[in-house]
Amino acid sequence: MHHSAPTSIDNDTPLLPTLRRFLPYLWPRDSRSQRVRILIAALCVMASKSVQVSMGFVYAAAINHMAPGMEPAATLALGLVLAYVGMRFSGILFDNLRNAVFERVGQDAARRLGVSVFAHLHKLSLRFHLSRRTGEVTKVIERGTKSIDEMLYFLLFNAAPTLFELIAVLIIFSVKFSPYLALVTAIMVGIYLFFTRRVTDWRNALRAQMNRLDNESVGKSVDSLLNYETVKYFGAERLEEARYATIAEQYCDAAVKSNNSLALLNVGQSFITNLMLALAMGWTVWGWSRGQFSTGDVVLVNSLLIQLFRPLDMLGMVYRTIRQGAIDMAAMFALIDTAAEIKDAPHAPALAVGGGAIQFDDVHFGYDAERPILRGLSFTLPAGQSLAIVGPSGSGKSTIARLLFRFFDVSAGAIRIDGQDIRMVSQMSLRSAIGIVPQDTVLFNDSIGYNIGYGRADASDSDISAAAHGAAIGNFIEQLPGGYASEVGERGLKLSGGEKQRIAIARTLLKNPPILILDEATSALDSRTEGEILATLGMIAASRTTITIAHRLSTIADADNILVLDKGRIAEQGNHASLLQCGGLYAEMWERQMAEGDKDGVATRQYFTDSVPVTG
């Protein structure tokens, strides 16, 4: 079954479930220091808001003592002004202390979630990764981790303190002035919140469209650049440019709509807040004219509302940031929720490798149910022997290697190593027992030494050098200016196909597995180098169970047994001489390759003439 997760989440993504799911990363049970930091930051927030609300009272008291006829209280008024200034500084001090204390919390939460997603991606099946664009997946992770810090900041240090301040202002208005003033303020704030949410949700829908187009543009650009050589081969630069320009234009239009919608939000918010201020100040001034309130009371109402409007003016951005952060995090959680197709059985033991005998028992498999690849494949490869698999393209040769590594599970039948069903043992132990030299070698964008050393984590420099010489590439590497520290470029583009393949061989030599798979391992090599590597592979395969998947038949002429696949079934099997004598599909393939002038094969075949009769 195909499991996949969406790369983007729509605007209807529930906010609270996403936040609840994120809480374990924010409040981890195994990190007491992080929880202490959150509590200290919360205390700083409370202290800062308490100071800011109190400033209005101090300012109002200073104004009252500056009224006509209050000259003797000038010293007190000056003291109140200084206290007001000190409280303003204290508010800024508490805010910055809060930021400093919480910085580690936000970064740790982002790190924990990012690592969880990255680890889970490596647990997902090959089917998942073959069906997804790498650029889109990395963009989801990038957006999700980047949104965490901003979302937490606005949620904990803007939205929550603003709610605390609103409640404080309503209580002050109700007790000191009138319940009606508090009621009108609450109604206007409710209208403000409703308007902000509706417009911001509309803007988020536009932003979701931007994200989708951004994902597509990144995916297309990465795909195009990774296929740089193919683009050049076919002179398709203008085609690629046109494809990218089309998606870039669509993204540009969506971005313009999204940014222009901000003007509507700002104008609407400003109208509501200024109307609220006009009503409250008008009512307070009317009360002052009747002697109900002092001049300081008028200033107090103004100060409290202005102080409240400051975070409210940012509410659209805050809500959008929190909402978008939840959307981006939900996309990350969707990746985490993508079920791993291949899982270890409960309490699966490690594979116990004796000789490394391999058995395929009536194996059926297809990447899609409607398109079967293997149709009842059965064979046994005794420990320490070599098996070659040949056949036309699409016959299932490379699929056998993928099944043996358990990148996929068989649809029916079983694969056993030393009598153990590979579905019943741990994947880590299974893959550590198998080495492969693939046909298409992809290298990390790092040094040559790193790529060879990837075969065994604890390998020393001398081990890496020995493996390189065993793969007939040691001399080449040592002649480079950087030696083993030389960079290979992205996907190994700085190296030739033969050099990349020899590095892959060296990496597998370093791993030193009991089971070896050679998937067209010398297809990119010239005849001389191929002969050297075949001789090396012949030596290391002497004590290993070896499966060789080959197109060039001359490279597998000395195999103990050869399987000829055709449409997922074994059409013929036997050694090289017996298959030639049968005059079947293998003999036909051999004759065709000889007729096509397989000069490399003739040169290579000389390595086997002493032990294997070659005809044709």
Render pLDDT for 269-296 as a digit per residue (tens, 0 to 9): 888 888 888 888 788 788 777 777 777 7
Domain boundary among the residues 291, 314, 337 is at 337
pLDDT at residue 418 in the model: 93
User: Minimal CA–CA distance to 558: which of 546, 571, 572?
Assistant: 546
Cα 445 from Cα 494, distance rounded (Å): 10
> In the numeric block, which tokens belong to residue 67?
């009224």
Q: Tell me the pLDDT tens digit for each residue of 98-109.
A: 666 666 777 777
613 vs 415, more confident: 415
Both 328 and 465 in one domain: the answer is no
3-class secondary-structure state, position 247: helix
CB atoms within 10 A of CB 276: 21
Residue 183 lies in a domain: yes
Banded model confidence at residue 380, pLDDT cuts 50, 70, 90: very high
Residue 397 lies in a domain: no
The pTM for the full model equals 0.62
Query: CATH number, domain at 319?
Result: 1.20.1560.10
Question: Amino acid identity of 346?
Answer: P
Number of domains forming the structure of the chain: 2
Give me the mean pLDDT over the 534-543 stretch.
71
Domain boundary among the residues 454, 479, 512 is at 512
User: Minimal CA–CA distance to 357: which of 332, 377, 387?
Assistant: 387
Q: Write a three-state SS string for 30-61.
A: CCHHHHHHHHHHHHHHHHHHHHHHHHHHHHHH
pLDDT at residue 74 in the model: 54
Residue 457 lies in a domain: yes
Output the CA–CA distances (angstroms, integers) from residue 529 to 292, 454, 559, 600, 603, in the order listed: 101, 23, 20, 10, 11
Both 265 and 123 in one domain: the answer is yes
- pLDDT above 60: residue 436: yes
3-class secondary-structure state, position 386: strand
Both 41 and 189 in one domain: the answer is yes
User: Minimal CA–CA distance to 388: which of 574, 149, 141?
Assistant: 574
Q: Tell me the pLDDT tens digit for each residue of 229-271.
A: 788 877 888 888 888 888 888 888 888 887 787 778 888 888 8
pLDDT at residue 141 in the model: 75
Q: Which of 308-317, 445-454, 548-557 shows the lowest per-residue confidence on average (mean pLDDT)? A: 308-317
Banded model confidence at residue 605, pLDDT cuts 50, 70, 90: very low
Rg (CA), the chain: 36
Cα 316 from Cα 266, distance rounded (Å): 8
pLDDT at residue 416 in the model: 95
Both 149 and 286 in one domain: the answer is yes
β-bridge pairing 434-437 and 515-519: parallel
Banded model confidence at residue 389, pLDDT cuts 50, 70, 90: very high
Domain boundary among the residues 276, 308, 337 is at 337
Residue 501 lies in a domain: yes
Banded model confidence at residue 413, pLDDT cuts 50, 70, 90: very high
pLDDT at residue 562 in the model: 92
Cβ atoms of 55 and 171 within 8 Å: the answer is no
pLDDT at residue 73 in the model: 53
- pLDDT above 80: residue 175: yes
Cβ atoms of 157 and 97 within 8 Å: the answer is no
Q: Tell me the pLDDT tens digit for each residue of 11-65.
A: 455 667 777 777 776 676 767 777 777 778 777 777 777 766 666 666 666 666 6
CB atoms within 10 A of CB 545: 26
pLDDT at residue 55 in the model: 65
Residue 171 lies in a domain: yes
Both 203 and 329 in one domain: the answer is yes
> In the numeric block, which tokens belong to residue 541?
């395969």
Q: Where are the alpha helices (DSSP H) in 444-493?
A: 448-453, 461-470, 474-479
Residue 360: φ, ψ to 5°? -100, 120
Cβ atoms of 45 and 157 within 8 Å: the answer is yes
Residue 277 lies in a domain: yes
Both 312 and 164 in one domain: the answer is yes
- pLDDT above 60: residue 2: no
Query: Which residue reads 């395929």 in tokens?
Result: 360
Banded model confidence at residue 121, pLDDT cuts 50, 70, 90: confident
- pLDDT above 70: residue 512: yes
Q: Tell me the pLDDT tens digit for each residue of 465-507.
A: 998 988 888 889 999 889 999 988 776 778 877 788 888 888 8
User: Minimal CA–CA distance to 502: which of 530, 480, 528?
Assistant: 530
pLDDT at residue 430 in the model: 93
Cα 576 from Cα 553, distance rounded (Å): 9
Residue 458 belongs to domain spanning: 439-512
Q: Where are the alpha helices (DSSP H) in 290-341?
A: 295-313, 315-337
- pLDDT above 80: residue 113: no
- pLDDT above 70: residue 456: yes
- pLDDT above 70: residue 417: yes
Cα 240 from Cα 220, distance rounded (Å): 9
Residue 161 lies in a domain: yes
Both 301 and 449 in one domain: the answer is no
Cβ atoms of 389 and 400 within 8 Å: the answer is yes
Both 121 and 268 in one domain: the answer is yes
pLDDT at residue 343 in the model: 87
Query: CATH number, domain at 470?
Result: 3.40.50.300
Tell me whether residue 419 is exposed, middle or buried, using C-beta atoms within 10 angstroms of its C-beta: 0 to 12, 13 to 18, 19 or more: exposed
Cβ atoms of 202 and 265 within 8 Å: the answer is no
Q: Tell me the pLDDT tens digit for each residue of 303-343.
A: 778 777 777 777 767 777 777 777 777 777 877 777 777 88
Cβ atoms of 375 and 568 within 8 Å: the answer is yes
Cα 43 from Cα 98, distance rounded (Å): 8
Residue 603 lies in a domain: no
Give me the mean pLDDT over the 363-367 stretch.
90
User: What mean pLDDT is reported for the chain?
Assistant: 78
pLDDT at residue 199 in the model: 83
pLDDT at residue 5 in the model: 38
Cα 514 from Cα 541, distance rounded (Å): 9
Tell me whether residue 229 is exposed, middle or buried, using C-beta atoms within 10 angstroms of its C-beta: 0 to 12, 13 to 18, 19 or more: exposed
